């Protein structure tokens, strides 16, 4: 091994910079936070090339004095805290004094600033380890920082940058999150000279409506709760409007957007009974807490926090949401809430009118026909088919549907109970798996392409992964910068909600990348797809449809297990039933 030596200063700063400036969006976040800390009322962002080429943030805040310009870009120099005590009750967004220094280390940075009393502005430039002395410049007021050619001197880092569209989408997300946290500040965003966002200072509700979408506001429950020094404000989406991705989830602690596992868990738990496991609630929540009760200095990017009393925070969030959700259900089913969600309990099922349970009221059996690409005997009738259970049909013949969840069938040994969602998910999953193995997932062109509004990140993901999407049976293309057009889906999933399905798949792709999704994450992907297509609880099936599912199960490998490892069917023998009723034979 070589001798131990101290690294040269520029290399040290380049290494450190990687933690703060992970990608253009993280530089942008730091710059906007500086503007907010400087008391800006208006912030203008100009990006070029997804931010990799240039990020410029101009504000009308307090500005920096000429003599302090070199300090601003010096590492560990800050005007925001001076002692440990300050750190422990920090209220500004920044405090580590390393953002500008980090950016200067790995880009060409220009800082122009003018304090209200200055006769003119001053500028300073920095790049790598070179720093110019302050020089006079022109600027009406406030501060303008430009970061050009990010990672120009660290090529290894540069190679990790994604496409321009993806990097821009991340930047766009940063601006939206910060804009949500400060509706009192005006924001504008331009990319490659085109205006993408322009927000004047506005009331919080209006800001949420503009950024999260009108459908969220219309289908959201207001939250405002206080307890023991904690306050939670904002709105949470109704379960029926949950999404397939986590894109509409915003959680702020003292105005700072954070990704917090504890809060996520509390929120998830509050929704537990009313939300399917692969759906994600929309929410915009602001937690106000005594700064001394929370540590924001966990990671250089400051997107994680640690609560002193994490139990209390968890309980508080959980109860606030649980109460709100409980009220919404007790107060009558909100419009548009499907039965499956509004009536999840046994009590609710029991209250169904008996005639609702009757067979034959079901939706047309064409549903299953399409699903399985196989004709279902139209004349099937419970009495006929159940009369002759035989070895040719190991899972027997359907008798009835129970509680909108189970299929009851009779075979030669006795009673078969099938969890219809799990069973359908399993058969679909195996079908997809077989098709992907043979590299021929058949595509089903949609008669009418489905167009839906999508986040910039989803649009970019679809664009980058077009080939992979084709491989798994999707034809998805951007319709505009904010919409996607789905022209074809895997034939086995033709009846699924194309939008939900596509979003679910894009989410996987974004999270794990195309190559992992097709290899180690393959089964997870297929199971996500299958789950989206599988028949939901409370869909009433006709006897022929139920029989079609039983036959499909028999034909499918491993149909005894659902994708999550739950069983899909269970046999209760006549002997067991006899024992139950103490019938001697």
Ligand X SMILES: Nc1ncnc2c1ncn2[C@@H]1O[C@H](COP(=O)(O)OP(=O)(O)O)[C@@H](O)[C@H]1O
Closer of 96 and 148 to ligand X (Cβ): 96
Q: Which residues, listed in sequence order, are joined to residue 45 by a DSSP beta bridge?
A: 57, 189
Q: Binding to ligand X by residue 79, rule CB under 6 A?
A: yes
Among the candidate windows 55-63, 357-365, 377-385, 411-419, which touches ligand X by CB under 6 A?
Answer: 55-63
CB of 38 to ligand X, least distance (A): 3
CB of 152 to Mg ion, least distance (A): 22
SS3 585: coil
Closer of 78 and 568 to ligand X (Cβ): 78
Closer of 63 and 234 to Mg ion (Cβ): 63
CB of 34 to ligand X, least distance (A): 3
Q: Binding to ligand X by residue 62, rule CB under 6 A?
A: yes
Closer of 94 and 473 to ligand X (Cβ): 94
d(CA 375, CA 369): 6
The CA radius of gyration of the chain, in Å to the nearest whole number, is 29
Q: Please give the residue ranges that form the binding site for Mg ion (CB under 5 A).
A: 34, 94, 99
Interface of this chain with ligand X, residues 101 to 120, rule: CB under 6 A: 101
DSSP secondary structure string, 437-466? Answer: HTT---EEEEEEEEEEE--HHHHHHHHHTH
Backbone φ and ψ for 217, nearest 5 degrees, come out as -65, -40
Q: Binding to ligand X by residue 72, rule CB under 6 A?
A: yes
Handedness of CA 57, 62, 68, 74 (dihedral sign): negative
The CA distances from residue 352 to 356, 360, 403, in Å, are 6, 16, 9
Q: Residue number with the shortest CB distance to Mg ion?
A: 94
Backbone φ and ψ for 424, nearest 5 degrees, come out as -65, -40
- 529 contacts: CB under 8 Å, gap ≥ 6: 428, 429, 432, 472, 490, 493, 496, 501, 504, 505
User: Which residue in 53, 80, 323, 487 binds ligand X (CB under 6 A)?
Assistant: 80
User: Which residue in 35, 54, 547, 556 binds ligand X (CB under 6 A)?
Assistant: 35
d(CA 329, CA 337): 10
Give which of Mg ion, ligand X, none residue 38 binds (C-beta under 5 to 8 Å, depending on kind).
ligand X
**Crossing angle, helix 261-271 and helix 310-330, to 10 degrees?**
30
Q: Please give the distance of CA 161 from its chain centroid, rounded to a whole number.
A: 21
User: Which residue in 96, 162, 182, 256 binds ligand X (CB under 6 A)?
Assistant: 96
User: Which residue in 26, 34, 107, 254 binds ligand X (CB under 6 A)?
Assistant: 34
Residues 126-145: x where in contact with ligand X by CB under 6 A, - otherwise, as a string: -----------------x--
User: Which residue in 16, 28, 30, 104 binds ligand X (CB under 6 A)?
Assistant: 30
Among the candidate windows 97-105, 208-216, 219-227, 260-268, which touches ligand X by CB under 6 A?
Answer: 97-105
Residue 280 gets which letter from DSSP?
B
Residue with tokens 């297990």: 561
User: Which residue in 16, 45, 64, 270 binds ligand X (CB under 6 A)?
Assistant: 64
Q: Is 571 exposed, middle or buried (0-12, 13-18, 19+ CB in 10 A)?
A: middle
Contact 95, 254 (CB under 8 A): no
Q: Binding to ligand X by residue 78, rule CB under 6 A?
A: yes
d(CA 163, CA 147): 18
Q: Binding to ligand X by residue 94, rule CB under 6 A?
A: yes
Q: Binding to ligand X by residue 123, rule CB under 6 A?
A: no
Site of interaction with ligand X (CB under 6 A):
30, 34-35, 38, 59, 61-64, 72, 78-80, 94-101, 143
């Amino acid at each position: 091994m070589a001798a131990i030596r101290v690294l040269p200063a520029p290399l040290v700063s380049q290494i450190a910079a990687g933690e703060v400036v992970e990608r253009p969006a993280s530089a942008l976040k730091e710059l906007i936070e500086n503007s907010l800390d400087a008391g800006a009322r208006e912030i203008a962002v100009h990006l070029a090339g997804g931010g990799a080429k240039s990020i410029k943030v101009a504000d009308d805040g307090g500005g920096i004095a000429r003599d302090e310009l070199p300090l601003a870009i010096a590492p560990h120099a800050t005007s925001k805290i001076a002692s440990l005590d300050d750190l422990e009750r920090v209220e500004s967004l920044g405090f580590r004094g390393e953002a500008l220094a980090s950016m200067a280390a790995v880009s060409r940075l220009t800082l122009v600033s003018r304090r209200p009393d200055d006769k003119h502005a001053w500028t300073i430039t920095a790049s790598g380890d070179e720093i110019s002395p302050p020089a006079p410049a022109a600027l009406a007021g406030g501060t303008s920082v430009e970061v050009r050619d990010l990672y120009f001197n660290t090529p290894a880092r540069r190679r990790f940058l994604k496409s321009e569209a993806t990097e821009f989408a991340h930047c766009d997300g940063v601006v939206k999150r910060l804009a949500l946290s400060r509706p009192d500040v005006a924001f504008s965003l331009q990319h490659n000279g085109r205006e993408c966002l322009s927000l004047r200072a506005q009331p919080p509700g209006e800001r949420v409506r503009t950024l999260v979408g009108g459908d969220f506001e219309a289908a959201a429950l207001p939250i405002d709760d206080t307890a023991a020094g904690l306050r939670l404000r904002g709105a949470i989406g109704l379960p029926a409007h949950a999404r397939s991705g986590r894109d509409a989830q915003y959680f702020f602690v003292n105005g700072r957007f954070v990704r917090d596992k504890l809060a996520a868990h509390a929120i998830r738990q509050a929704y537990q009974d009313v939300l399917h496991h692969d759906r994600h609630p929309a929410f915009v929540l602001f937690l106000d807490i005594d700064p001394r009760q929370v540590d924001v200095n966990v990671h250089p990017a400051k997107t994680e926090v640690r609560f002193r009393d994490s139990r209390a925070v968890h309980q508080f969030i959980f109860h606030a949401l649980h109460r709100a959700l409980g009220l919404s259900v007790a107060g009558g089913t909100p419009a548009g809430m499907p039965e499956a969600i509004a009536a999840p309990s046994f009590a609710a099922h029991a209250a169904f009118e008996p005639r609702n349970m009757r067979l034959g009221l079901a939706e047309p059996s064409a549903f299953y026909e399409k699903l399985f690409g196989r004709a279902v005997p139209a004349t099937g009738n419970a009495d006929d088919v159940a009369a002759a259970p035989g070895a040719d049909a190991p899972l027997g013949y359907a008798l009835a549907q129970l509680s909108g969840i189970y299929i009851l069938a009779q075979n030669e040994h006795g009673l078969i109970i099938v969890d219809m969602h799990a069973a359908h998910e399993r058969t679909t999953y195996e079908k997809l798996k077989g098709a992907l193995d043979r590299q021929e997932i058949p595509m089903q062109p949609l008669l009418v392409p489905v167009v839906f509004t999508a986040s910039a990140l989803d649009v970019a993901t679809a664009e980058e992964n077009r080939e992979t999407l084709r491989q798994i049976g999707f034809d998805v293309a951007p319709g505009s910068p904010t919409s996607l057009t789905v022209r074809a889906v895997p034939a086995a999933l033709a009846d699924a909600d194309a939008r939900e399905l596509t979003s679910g798949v894009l989410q996987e792709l974004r999270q794990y990348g195309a190559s992992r999704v097709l290899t180690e994450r393959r089964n997870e992907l297929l199971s996500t797809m299958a789950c989206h297509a599988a028949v939901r609880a409370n869909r009433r099936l006709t006897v022929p449809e139920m029989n079609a599912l039983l036959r499909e199960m028999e034909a499918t490998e491993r149909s005894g297990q659902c994708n999550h490892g739950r069983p899909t069917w269970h046999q209760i023998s006549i002997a067991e039933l006899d024992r139950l009723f103490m019938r001697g034979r």
